[in-house]
Every structure is written in C-alpha cells, then in structure tokens.
C-alpha cells in the first residue's frame, strides 16, 4: 500500500519550489512558452511521456499503470494574468504579469501528483492523463485542447481538477469545497449595436435617436431574468458597457451595448440568447431604427458528476477529516473552462482553500497582493492522488 499522505509530504519542498519557480515566470493567455518549457523539463526529469497541443502551449502527459483499465484526466490550468505584482515576496514576478489566481500552485500540484503516480505505476491499473492547460483566464484553453484530441487516445473516462486560493468565507483555510452537480455558471457575452439616424440635438424630429432606443433596450433586458425565468433558477443578464455620442448638441447614429450573461443550464442559456435579440428587434423596430446582434457563447456551466464526486469525497476522507470537507449547496455565478472537460467526461472540480495574508489581510483573486498558502499544497497533491488511485482501481 502506498502511504499517500507521507509521500506527498516527503516531496513538499519540491512542490513549493516548482510553485515558486513558476511564480516568477507568469505568462498570459494561449502564449506560455516559458511555462510550457518549465513543465516539460520537469516531466523529462521524471521520465514521463507527453506531447504538446495549442501550438506548444498545452501539455498532455501520459502515465500508464499496471494493466488494462480506464483513463482519468487530471487538469491544471497554468496561465497567469496581466497584473503587476505587489506582494513583495522574495520570488515575486518581475516580468509585468502575475500568477494572481493561484494557477502556479495548480501546476505544482499536478507535477507533484505526476511524480508520485509515475513512481508507483504498479499501484494502479489504467492510465493517468496530465492536462496542463493554458488560457483559462482568457480566451479559453480547454476547448482548443479538446478539439486537438486531448481527450482521445487513450480516451479519457473521467476528469478531475481543483482551484486554490481565497474562496470566500464559505470555505475556511485548509478546508476543501465539493459540489454534487452544477457548481459554476456558463458565461456568455452579448454585443448589441443600435443604429439610428444622427441629427442636431435641437431638432430631434429629424433623427432616429439611438440613445433613447438603447435606454429602452437596457431597461427591457432587465425583465428577462425578473419576469421570464423561474425565480428559483439562478440567471444573470448584466449590461456592463454602453457607449454612444460625441457632444451635447449631436444625436449620434449608433449606440453600442455589451453585457454578460450567466446561466446554469443549456436551455435557459439558449432561451436568453434568443430573448435578447427579440427584445432588441422589437424596440428598435418600434422606433424605426435597426440593429446588429451577436451572442458569444464562451464557457459552458461547470457541472460535476454526482457519482464521481461521491467517490472523490470517500477518497478525500482518507486525507482530511470529515469536518474539513464542506459541501457547496449553491453554485456560484463565476465561470471556469474546466467545464469543457467536464462536458466530455464525468468528474469533479473541487476547491482547496489556502489564502495567505499580505500586510495583514487576505486579498481577492486577481489582486496585485493575492497570495496562496504553500503549506497546503501537499494536501492538494494527496487529494488528487487518492482520488485518482481509488477511482482507477475501482473502475
Ligand atoms: Zn482567475
Ligand atoms: Zn483561476
């Protein structure tokens, strides 16, 4: 038997070192050459086979266990943010970007799990696929990885991933948050252009005023969630940008509106996309204007498999006490592109809370003073290992 807690604690310094080295070289989006080079160099040292996708910015590793079995995919997002770091840490980033969401910790945890799994291939059957993913913050890296075959040969039967950091009062430091079902929302963007006819501000009768039309549109959009969606179902339609006009005496031609839409199920998502256009069309037509409309489907809702999550929680109880496992009863309206992997295969995404104070306070994700508590990283490795080995040996 493999003593998972001991093994993870044994390599704690190495895990922390990976995190610190990655912390110094944060890169953003789908262009992570240094990060990918760093991770592949570690996999080379471990003797783990891999190939790259998304122009070399995503890494898919493969560890074959002892005998035929299923394949589990372990996902870590590895991108940073264009934020100038102000933590004052010894290993603070100096390249103008920052690991301000803890993805350096995710990558270090997956490297730790990979190392121990690779050294203990005789302890499990089936395969483990390592999914190091770029572009989680934007523009999305899971989708191109899947399109390029990350979930095939061998086909991935289940997926697991985690998020570290400051996860709010619901999940205190050191505890883990699990969710049986819908956990995070789908995120989409609406782009609306209201086209009228410009004129002198003193002669409105010669215009088709897009500002008045846009105002009606903004108010009418509020009724989608308040009047058309079942009140017990979470949904958000937020107008977040409105732009038009030049001066006090000119009625402009065009007003642009942008906003975010958050939903938890596909039918509501498509319904809102359709209703926005119907409202825009009706109001602009009523005033003699015209419009352009684009609904951009971004990340789908993140939905955990109830069955897989149950198995994972049983495994997690071998690593942490039962009181340290917090069930999230309500989803959050934030988004994560882990959802694309979870659409391809059942699995679970969980939180490991480990915020660290800077100057006496906890800063939120994406803040220049955000930091993670490294003393919890071994626990992430142990949880991923236990969940992986138990699931592979059971299936
Ligand atoms: Zn983030
Ligand atoms: Zn993140």
Domains in the chain: boundaries? 4-182+301-394, 186-299
The predicted structure's pLDDT at residue 109: 98
Burial class (CB in 10 A: 0-12, 13-18, 19+), 189: middle
Known binding residue 366? Answer is yes
Mean per-residue pLDDT, 313-318:
98
The predicted structure's pLDDT at residue 194: 98
Domain 4-182+301-394 CATH superfamily: Zn peptidases (3.40.630.10)
Known binding residue 163? Answer is yes
Answer whether residue 20 shows pLDDT above 80. yes
Distance 262 CA to ligand 2 centre (A): 17
Phi and psi, residue 208, nearest 5°: -115, 105
**Ligand found nearest the CA of 138:** 1
Answer whether residue 209 shows pLDDT above 90. yes
Distance 285 CA to ligand 2 centre (A): 42
Known binding residue 101? Answer is yes
Task: Specify the CATH class of 186-299 in words.
Answer: alpha beta
Mean per-residue pLDDT, 42-65:
98
**Ligand found nearest the CA of 366:** 1
So which residues are the catalytic ones? 299, 374
Name the percent of the chain lying above pLDDT 70: 100
Distance 123 CA to ligand 2 centre (A): 31
Q: Ion ligand 2 — residues with CB under 5 Å?
A: 101
Mean per-residue pLDDT, 367-377:
97
Distance 337 CA to ligand 2 centre (A): 10
Distance 155 CA to ligand 1 centre (A): 28
E-only strand ranges, the chain: 49-53, 58-64, 71-77, 127-133, 158-165, 176-178, 182-184, 186-195, 199-200, 235-244, 250-251, 254-263, 290-299, 302-303, 325-327, 347-353
**Ligand found nearest the CA of 337:** 2
């Amino acid at each position: 038997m493999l003593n998972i807690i001991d093994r993870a604690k044994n390599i704690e310094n190495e895990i922390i070192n990976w995190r610190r080295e990655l912390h110094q070289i944060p890169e953003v989006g789908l262009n992570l050459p240094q990060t990918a080079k760093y991770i592949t160099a570690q996999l080379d040292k471990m003797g783990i086979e891999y190939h790259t996708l998304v122009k070399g910015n995503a890494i898919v590793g493969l560890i074959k266990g002892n005998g035929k079995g299923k394949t589990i995919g372990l996902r870590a997002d590895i991108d940073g943010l264009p934020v100038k770091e102000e933590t004052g840490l010894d290993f603070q980033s100096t390249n103008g970007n920052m690991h301000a969401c803890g993805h350096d910790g995710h990558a270090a945890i997956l490297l730790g799990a990979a190392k121990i799994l690779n050294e203990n291939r005789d302890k499990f059957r089936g395969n483990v696929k390592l999914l190091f993913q770029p572009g989680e913050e934007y523009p999305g890296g899971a989708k191109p990885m899947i399109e390029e075959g990350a979930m095939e040969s061998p086909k991935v039967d289940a997926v697991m991933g985690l998020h570290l950091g400051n996860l709010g009062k619901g999940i205190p430091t050191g505890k883990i948050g699990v969710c049986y079902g819908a956990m995070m929302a789908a995120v989409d963007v609406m782009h609306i252009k209201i086209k009228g006819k410009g004129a002198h501000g003193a002669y409105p009768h010669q215009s088709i005023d897009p500002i008045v039309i846009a105002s009606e549109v903004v108010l009418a959009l509020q009724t989608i969630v308040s009047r058309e969606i079942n009140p017990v179902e979470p949904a958000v339609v937020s107008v977040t940008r409105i732009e038009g006009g030049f001066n006090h005496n000119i009625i402009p031609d065009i007003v642009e509106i942008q906003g975010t839409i958050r939903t938890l199920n596909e039918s509501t998502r498509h319904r809102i996309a359709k209703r926005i256009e119907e409202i825009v069309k009706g109001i602009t037509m009523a005033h003699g204007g015209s419009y352009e409309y684009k609904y951009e489907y971004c990340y789908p809702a993140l939905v955990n498999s109830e069955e897989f999550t149950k198995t994972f929680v049983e495994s997690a109880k071998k690593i942490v006490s039962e009181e340290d496992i917090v069930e999230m009863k309500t989803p959050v309206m934030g988004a994560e592109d882990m959802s694309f992997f979870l659409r391809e295969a059942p699995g679970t995404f969980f939180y490991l809370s480990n915020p660290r104070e800077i100057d006496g306070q906890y800063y939120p994700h994406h803040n220049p003073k955000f930091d993670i508590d490294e003393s919890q990283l071994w626990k992430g490795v142990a949880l991923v290992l236990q969940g992986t080995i138990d699931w592979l040996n059971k299936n």
